[in-house]
Amino acid sequence: MLFETLIYKCILKARSIAPKDKHNKIKLDGSMHYLIDKCFFITQLMAVRRLTDKKGSDVVSLYKLLKLMKENNKYLTRKNYFMILEERGYHYDYADIAKKAEEYLHKNLKMDTVICIPDELNWEKSSEFHSNFDKLSKTQFNDRTPDDFVDISVFEKLLDNLDYCENLRDYVNSYIAHSLNLEKIEKLEDKSLPISFDQLWEAQKIICSVINFVGLYLIGISDYGLLPLTHGTILHYIEEPLVSKDKKKELYKEEEIFRNETFSWKINIDELII
């Protein structure tokens, strides 16, 4: 979702600095950029709807995940988290590991040298997880127990954040995914339509911040990169024209072929009515 938005933002920037003709109009092909705009907004709004969808028992979405965790929050205990994360070096009781780490430093640390503590002696990540879980479970340091669980208010706040996308889902359901009926027209009359880029950007920001929170604190300390790594720049050959002037006539031929083809898409009454 964000990778496509990055490309689109570069296109918007390119439009703002594109050369102009003698009438001070930007020299860009209107039909191609119309297609870019339309496809971008439709695909992005559909992505927002998929991630925040609330309905359907077989629907998989970020919203449904949080709702499921909220309904089962008493199973999200401190003990269970440490049991799952143990293979990644997290320990509920890290006192012995902290002692061994101190001994390792005392033995290996020398003046003007830098050393790295082995991962198996990294007790600080266990301590940090305990501290974060104190916040998630609304527990004081001295009151920690293995049965502390993630407080339901955590999920309520995250779900409330995702409710910003409600209007965008309504727009998709009414104008993109389905045909609009009169009842929906009346409901949407007083809403701001169509959806602006700023509204879409805010929805993306909220969704990604929620995903980051879920990854870092709720499903095993996974720091998701928001943008994929690419081989080389996404702007390779961006400065090149799509077609040269002397080849433009080939596009006119393609347009004519298409118009003739679609014009022939008719049902003959003699074939249909027997």
- Tell me how long the chain is: 274
State the Cα–Cα distance between residues 266 and 274, nearest whole angstrom: 17
For residue 141, what are its two tokens? 């340091």
State the Cα–Cα distance between residues 128 and 135, nearest whole angstrom: 11
Once rounded to an integer, what is the mean pLDDT over residues 57-61? Answer: 86
Instruction: Encode pLDDT of 67-120 as tens digits.
Output: 999 999 999 999 999 999 998 899 999 999 999 999 998 888 776 777 788 889
Instruction: Encode pLDDT of 150-189 as tens digits.
Output: 999 999 999 999 999 998 988 888 888 877 667 766 666 5
Q: What are phi and psi of 26, to 5 degrees?
A: -65, 135
The model carries a pTM of 0.84
For residue 179, what are its two tokens? 């045909």
Per-residue pLDDT band at 232 (split at 50, 70, 90): confident
Break the chain into its structural domains and give their ranges. 2-58+164-247
